[in-house]
Structure 1
Amino acid sequence: MATAVGGSQWSLIAAISRKKNNSTQLLSTGFSQTPILSRNPRFKLCSSPLPFHGAGHIRKKTDIHVVTPDISSPSITPELLDAWNDDYNGVVINPESLPISANAFASSLRASLSNWKLKGKKGVWLKILQEQADLVPIAIQEGFDYHHAESGYVMLTYWIPDDLCMLPGSPSHQIGIGAFVFNYKKEVLVVKEKCPCSCSGVWKFPTGYINKSEDIFSGAVREVKEETGVSNVYLLAYHNHHQ
């Protein structure tokens, strides 16, 4: 029911909830000072006594509690990318199983990076074939860098730790040294290998790779000092072999 009061209209509001057996239950009633507009000329307001409480006072509205069902949409967990571990606590992504959809690839890549970070992984290698070239910008946006490209594919890399990236540069050639160090007592200097590969724990000569723009002699002295702490080393001879 509705009636006019001081230029406004008051409408009776009833909040109901529907039960499973299709029956209805009145929850609460109240009055809302919301203008009621109707363009139907046949609509007429019914006159009814106003809900006064005492002289000149309108009864206060009662609170209306709206009951809404708790509807939650099911969460979809992205699938992790198919990958295998390398010998240096890194990850190599299988290029043959990359998602075709760009959105699916982006979601799976983010989820996989988070998973590998929690597992303490370091370097990630992502090979994208020529027919998958539309996935390259997505990987670059997620933080991957170009490593090298060959006919038919491009190789991207991602370094997970916050420290200096230790992934090797693009393949060209590398020069390694092995130092045979002995003292006046004819004692030979050896070290125990520490690496995640199968040769860990093996006793060997100090070895390593030459840095860029570093000559062989300086590289040999540096590697001996880095692996053993011995610095007073004198080079007697060296052998260079390159294919």
Structure 2
Amino acid sequence: MASCAFVSKLSQVTGRFCSKASCPTRTTVRALTCTATRAQLHKVEGTSALAGKVDRFGGVTVNLADAGLPADISEGAFSRLLQDCLVQWKAEGKVAVWLRVPISLSRCAAAASTHGFTFHHAKHDHAVLALWMGRGESRLPGFATHQVGVAGAVVDESTGKVLVVQDRNKTKNAWKFPGGLSDPGENIGATAVREVFEETGVRSEFRSLLSIRQQHNHPGAFGISDMYIICRLSPLTYDINFCTQECLRCEWLDLARLTTTKDTTPITSRIAKLLLHGLEQGFDKIDLTMEELPAVYSGMFYQLYHRQLLKS
């Protein structure tokens, strides 16, 4: 703070006599200003200012929000700091660097780009940049290659009817199963149950997975691939109170009728035939049931969907 006050006072004095950049006194002021900036940065630089977490693949992840950088750090100051760290990481044999940049330090992304960093992904209040330092072409994984849509086919086994809706914003009013996009960290069965309730007001429970559709370059998903999963659900309630913002119509429709009507989509018609077969021959003939198993990572679990083997 003392050096800054001195520089400010000196600027006021010399400003009366010097007007050219070549003025020796003005040069002294610039030198003192740079010295003060370096001194401020030196407080947070050290050898661990950009210390990150090393992963099992030989990469380093640095979260700039936790790096202790000055809130007003300039692009130039960050660029010099990053350059020193890159030299160190390279000498240590690190193959990649991931920079998590909060939106408040977006200027650091511009500085990182001069060292070869490129955007990997962005979410809400931060962006992640990546730099491959290993041999050959980059082997870093991509991000957000797919979105997952989930629909729930709620079958009333006592009546042979299934719950269907017509979307309000479609050019063709075709019957389909209610559904939507799965949230991050949400199991597909939970997505199906949630989406059915949000669109129709009917509560249900997950029974099985019925089908998966894969589509690439999806126009409604920013050109990424789309996975569309249909689950079989059993109703817990039957009264319809559908969302008028999303749905034009909602009904319990006879499964046999859904297999023959032209007012539906090809995938809905095929799944209706599958459900009708299950209704007549037993759902064990069509179900891919879910089993939760412990993962190799301690304390974590995964969901496995498969046909059950007949017990002898």
Q: TM-score range by the shorter chain?
A: 0.3 to 0.5
The answer to which structure has the higher strand fraction is: 2
TM-score (structure 2 length as normaliser) = 0.30
Higher helix share: 2
Larger Rg: 1
